[in-house]
Structure 1
């Protein structure tokens, strides 16, 4: 799950929880489903930000004598 899909889940959850009148979908508590989608989207957003910030970065140094080093 990436940042964009996490934001979409948060937005859909907010729409279900706050914008749609309760009882529109029979036998489904859409407020609870909206809260669940917002929590899952929030967790996905946090995880994707952590994964993006901890991505491995390498620096390649080429010396004049032909050696190559990676850090």
Structure 2
């Protein structure tokens, strides 16, 4: 799930909330549409937050030992 699923929920939710005039017994389509819209917006926001969370400064250092083996160390700093 991500931007595509969130966008889909927003579009379908807004169509149900604003453009559909049909009634279904026992279901309020406008309320379902607004719920889908809110869930879609939250999904987009959470996707943006989690994708940007992994970004930061990264540095790697390679140490060559006397026997010829190498050790690579990676350090991450969140900005």
TM-score bucket of the superposed structures, by smaller chain = 0.7 to 0.9
Q: CA RMSD in A?
A: 2.2
How many residues are paired up?
Answer: 70
Which TM-score applies when normalising by structure 2? 0.72
Which one has the largest radius of gyration? 2
Q: Report which structure shows greater RCO (CA 8 Å, sep ≥6).
A: 1
- Structure 1 gap ranges (5+): none
Which TM-score applies when normalising by structure 1? 0.79
Structure holding more strand per residue: 2
- Runs (4 or more) in structure 1 with deviation over 6 Å come to none
